[in-house]
Chains A and B, each alone.
Chain A
Amino acid sequence: MAVDRRASPKGLGSRLIAVSAASFMALFVVLPLTLIFQQAFADGVSRYLAAIADPETLDAIWLTLLIAAIAVPLNTLFGVAAAWCIAKFSFPGKNILVTILDLPLSVSPVIAGMVFVLLFGAQGWFGPALAAHNLKIIFAFPGLVLATLFVTLPYVARQLIPLMLQIGRDEEEAAIVLGAGGLRTFLRVTLPNIKWGLIYGVLLCNARAMGEFGAVAVVSGHITGVTVTMPLQVEIFYNDYHTVAAFAVASLLSLLGLLTLLLRRWLEVEGRGAVGAGMKGLPT
C-alpha cells in the first residue's frame, strides 16, 4: 500500500480551489439529488407511496425490469466473448472491432433509436416484411429491447478488455497444458480472474439499461402500460404536471444510481482484498 503523501490544502490559493470544487459538487450533484427526494416527498410519504403504487408506475417498473433482465444477460455474454477475443487473440480486423465497440458510447442515443426506426419501422427496410408477418418491433417491446441492447453493448466488454489484457494468457495456457479443456479452463481459470471486473461491468450495464431514455423514447411510441419504461414515465408524469409522481419515479431511478455507486465502492474494496483477482491491480 502506497502511503498517501498528499497534504490537506494549506495555502490560500489551494483552499480557494478546494472550496470552489466542493461548492461546484454541492451545486451540481448533491443539491439536485436532494431536490429529487424533497420533491418526491413534498406531499408526504403516503402520496409518495401512492404515486409508486399507481398502475402506470408499476407497469413501467415491471417493463424496465423485464428489459434489463433480457438486455443485461445478453450483453454480458457478448461482452465476455468480445473481450475474450480481443484480449487473448490477434486477428485481422481486431482494431476495427474495438472501435465499433465504442460506437454506442460515442453516438447520440437518439440516433440509435432512429436507426432502429429506419430498419424496422413501418416505412423502414424490413417494415413491409414485418408487417406481412404481423410482427411489430417499433412501438413495441422488441424495439425497446433492441434499443437498450444497442446502448448498453460496450459496458461489459469495455470493463473486461483492459483487465484481460493485463492478466494475459499464461494461466489459460498453463491450464490447457495441464489437460483442461476449453470450457473448464474458462470456468476454473478465466472466470475467477475476471470476476470482480465482470460484476462491475454488469452493474454499469444494468444501470444504463434501466436509465436509458433517448434511444428508448424514439422507439417507444409512449403507449401507456405497454411501452413506457421508468424514465419515460417520469417524463410523462412531469409533462402532465404530476410533479410528485414524476419525482417519485425519479427517486427510484436515483436510488438505483446510488446503489450502483455503493456496490462499486464495495467491489473496489472487496476486489482488492480478495486474494488473486483484483479490479485494478494484480498482486503478483
Chain B
Amino acid sequence: MISVTNLRKQFNGAAALDGISLDIGQGELLALLGPSGSGKTTLLRIIAGLEQADRGTLFIDGQDALPVPPRARGIGFVFQHFALFRHMTAADNIAFGLTVKPRAQRPSRKAIADRVQELLSLVQLEGLGARFPSELSGGQRQRIALARALAVEPKLLLLDEPFGALDAKVRVELRHWLRELHDRLGLTTIFVTHDQEEALELADRVAILNAGRIEQVGRPREVYDRPGSAFVMEFLGEVNKLQCHIAAGRAVLGKQGGPSVDAGTLPAGPAVAYVRPHEIELDPKTPVGACDTVVRSLSVIGPRTRLHLELGGKLIEADADRAQVDALALTAGMTVRIRFKMVRLYTTSPSGMGYWRGSDGTTGQAPIENIRRSLPYSRVG
C-alpha cells in the first residue's frame, strides 16, 4: 500500500508537482497518465527516491519512505530508455541487484545464476543471457530491464513510459504481456504514460495528471465515461468541442439558434460541450434533439466512416456505420440530420463543474471531489 499526501516539488521556481495526494492499493496496477510536463515522471521518481520532494509525505507499507535512500526502498524501476548496463551481458544486468547486496544477504554464485535463469524464462528470453544490450531488440531490452528490476524482489514496481521507446507493434504485444505478468506476480505496479489508450487498456486505475495536479483518479471505464473535468474529457480520446451558453437550464450549442440540450443544475453562463465522434448518430427520422448538418467530407476507415460535418459554421467529426452511410448514399454536400447520443457540458468557471446527458435520458454530474480545475482552453481535442 502506497500513500502519497500533498506532495510538492518545484524545479527552478516552477511547480512540477502542485500538491499530489494518491493512494495505491496492494497489488494494484496504476497508470499515471498526462501530457508531457504534467509531473507524472517527477512523481514516479520521487516515489523511487531519485528526486527529492519539497513538501508532503510518502508512505510505503505504513513506513515513511521519504527519508529512506533509494537503494533501501525495495523498489524496482524500469527506465524509459531501459538504462541497461551497456558493458554487461543481459545475464549480468539481471544479476546486478543481487551481486551488490551486502555480503551477509548476498546469495551464492550458484543461487544468483539460478535466479537469473528463472527470470530469463519469466521474461521469455531463455538463451539470450550472454548477449549484450546492443545485440538485443528494443522489446528484448525492455524485458531484460524488467527482469533486472524484478531480480531484487521489490515491493513495488515503477515503470517510466515502459513502451515509449518501442515501435507500435511491439508496444501492443508487450502491453498484453505485462498485464499477464502483473496478474501472475500480483506486484503493486505504477507506470507512467502519455498514451491514453495504453493507460485505459492496461491499468486497474488511472490517475490523470495536469500541470502538477491530479485531475481525476478512477477505473478506466469511470474516467472515460464520467470525466471529472474538461481536461480529462479532452485528454481521453477524440472529442468535438463546441462553445455553448447556458440559460434557463438549457445549453445552446454553437451559434444562437443552434441545437440545445438540457444543462441540469449547471449555472447560467458560458460553457463547453463535448461530443465524442462515436456518440454522434445519423438520424434522418427523429426530430428530437436533432439538427441539420452538411457533409463536408467523408472517408472510409475499415468498417467505419469518418464524416466531417458542418454544424452552424463549425466542423465536427462523426464516426458512422458503413452500412448506414451506404444506405443513405451520403456524399459531400448533402445535408444530414444528426443526433447526439451523449453530450458532456463543462462550465468555464474556475471550479469547472461537469454535467452530462445521454439521449436515453440518463444524466450525471462529475463527482465534486474529482474536479480540480477547469482546463486551459488552448488545448483543443
Decide if A193 touches B50 in the complex (CB within 8 Å). no
Contacts of B66-116 to chain A: CB distance below 8 A: 70-73, 75-77, 79, 81, 83-88, 96-97, 100-101
A122 at the interface (CB under 8 A from B): no
Residues of chain B within 8 A of A174, CB atoms compared: 77, 79, 83-85, 148
Decide if A178 touches B133 in the complex (CB within 8 Å). no
Residues of chain B within 8 A of A170, CB atoms compared: 79, 81, 83
Output the nearest chain A residue to B87 by Cβ-Cβ distance. Answer: A276
Output the nearest chain A residue to B86 by Cβ-Cβ distance. Answer: A276
Decide if A171 touches B100 in the complex (CB within 8 Å). no
Once A184-B100, A275-B134, A276-B133 are accepted as A-B contacts, the answer to whether A177 and B50 lie under 8 Å apart by CB is: yes
Bound-state Cα–Cα, A189 to B97, Å: 12
B291 at the interface (CB under 8 A from A): no
Binary interface profile of A, 111-133, with partner B (CB < 8 Å = 1, else 0)? Answer: 00000000000000000000000
Binary interface profile of A, 172-199, with partner B (CB < 8 Å = 1, else 0)? Answer: 0111111111001000110011000000
Total interface residues on B, CB under 8 Å, equals 31
Binary interface profile of B, 136-161, with partner A (CB < 8 Å = 1, else 0)? Answer: 00000100000011011000000000
B132 at the interface (CB under 8 A from A): yes
Binary interface profile of A, 255-284, with partner B (CB < 8 Å = 1, else 0)? Answer: 000000000000000000011110000111
Bound-state Cα–Cα, A282 to B135, Å: 13
Bound-state Cα–Cα, A175 to B151, Å: 13
Min distance, Cβ A284 to any Cβ of chain B, angstroms: 6
Once A173-B79, A177-B71, A180-B71 are accepted as A-B contacts, the answer to whether A277 and B86 lie under 8 Å apart by CB is: yes
Bound-state Cα–Cα, A93 to B72, Å: 32
Most buried by A among B86, B88, B97, B148: B86
Decide if A177 touches B134 in the complex (CB within 8 Å). no
Output the nearest chain A residue to B92 by Cβ-Cβ distance. Answer: A188
Bound-state Cα–Cα, A177 to B83, Å: 12
Residues of chain B within 8 A of A175, CB atoms compared: 85, 96, 100
Decide if B100 touches A177 in the complex (CB within 8 Å). no
Most buried by A among B76, B87, B88: B87
Decide if A277 touches B79 in the complex (CB within 8 Å). no
Once A177-B77, A178-B100, A180-B100 are accepted as A-B contacts, the answer to whether A284 and B86 lie under 8 Å apart by CB is: yes
Bound-state Cα–Cα, A101 to B77, Å: 36
Once A276-B132, A276-B134 are accepted as A-B contacts, the answer to whether A180 and B96 lie under 8 Å apart by CB is: yes
Residues of chain A within 8 A of B71, CB atoms compared: 176-181
Partner of B86, one of A171, A173, A176, A188: A171
Partner of A177, one of B75, B86, B132: B75
Residues of chain A within 8 A of B30, CB atoms compared: none
Once A170-B83, A192-B87 are accepted as A-B contacts, the answer to whether A275 and B132 lie under 8 Å apart by CB is: yes
Residues of chain B within 8 A of A189, CB atoms compared: 85
Bound-state Cα–Cα, A184 to B81, Å: 22
Bound-state Cα–Cα, A4 to B194, Å: 40
Binary interface profile of A, 40-70, with partner B (CB < 8 Å = 1, else 0)? Answer: 0000000000000000000000000000000
Residues of chain B within 8 A of A171, CB atoms compared: 83-86
B271 at the interface (CB under 8 A from A): no
Residues of chain B within 8 A of A193, CB atoms compared: 86-87
Decide if A283 touches B152 in the complex (CB within 8 Å). no
Residues of chain B within 8 A of A284, CB atoms compared: 81, 84, 86, 133-134, 141
Decide if A178 touches B96 in the complex (CB within 8 Å). yes
Residues of chain B within 8 A of A283, CB atoms compared: 86, 133-134
Output the nearest chain B residue to A170 by Cβ-Cβ distance. Answer: B83
Once A170-B79, A170-B81, A275-B87 are accepted as A-B contacts, the answer to whether A177 and B70 lie under 8 Å apart by CB is: yes
B263 at the interface (CB under 8 A from A): no
Decide if A178 touches B83 in the complex (CB within 8 Å). no
Bound-state Cα–Cα, A192 to B50, Å: 22
Residues of chain B within 8 A of A173, CB atoms compared: 50, 77, 79, 83
Output the nearest chain A residue to B148 by Cβ-Cβ distance. Answer: A178
Residues of chain A within 8 A of B132, CB atoms compared: 275-276
Min distance, Cβ B327 to any Cβ of chain A, angstroms: 54
Contacts of A28-50 to chain B: CB distance below 8 A: none
Contacts of B269-309 to chain A: CB distance below 8 A: none
B48 at the interface (CB under 8 A from A): yes
Min distance, Cβ A92 to any Cβ of chain B, angstroms: 12
Decide if A177 touches B48 in the complex (CB within 8 Å). yes
Min distance, Cβ A104 to any Cβ of chain B, angstroms: 32
Bound-state Cα–Cα, A276 to B48, Å: 27
Residues of chain A within 8 A of B100, CB atoms compared: 175, 178-181, 184, 188
Residues of chain A within 8 A of B85, CB atoms compared: 171, 174-175, 188-189, 192, 276
Residues of chain B within 8 A of A276, CB atoms compared: 85-88, 132-134
Min distance, Cβ B285 to any Cβ of chain A, angstroms: 60
Residues of chain A within 8 A of B148, CB atoms compared: 174, 178
Residues of chain A within 8 A of B83, CB atoms compared: 170-171, 173-174
Residues of chain B within 8 A of A282, CB atoms compared: 86
Output the nearest chain A residue to B93 by Cβ-Cβ distance. Answer: A174
Partner of A179, one of B86, B88, B133, B152: B152
Bound-state Cα–Cα, A274 to B87, Å: 9
Residues of chain A within 8 A of B141, CB atoms compared: 284
User: Which 8 pairs across A and B sit closest by C-beta, in order of nearness?
Assistant: A170-B83, A276-B87, A283-B134, A178-B97, A276-B86, A180-B100, A174-B83, A192-B87
Residue numbers of B with Cβ under 8 A of A are 48-50, 70-73, 75-77, 79, 81, 83-88, 96-97, 100-101, 132-135, 141, 148-149, 151-152
With A176-B70, A178-B96, A188-B96 given, name 9 new contacts (CB 8 A): A170-B79, A177-B49, A179-B72, A179-B100, A180-B96, A274-B87, A275-B87, A276-B134, A284-B133
Residue numbers of A with Cβ under 8 A of B are 170-171, 173-181, 184, 188-189, 192-193, 274-277, 282-284
Q: List 8 A-B contacts (CB under 8 A).
A: A176-B70, A178-B100, A180-B71, A193-B86, A274-B87, A276-B134, A283-B86, A284-B141
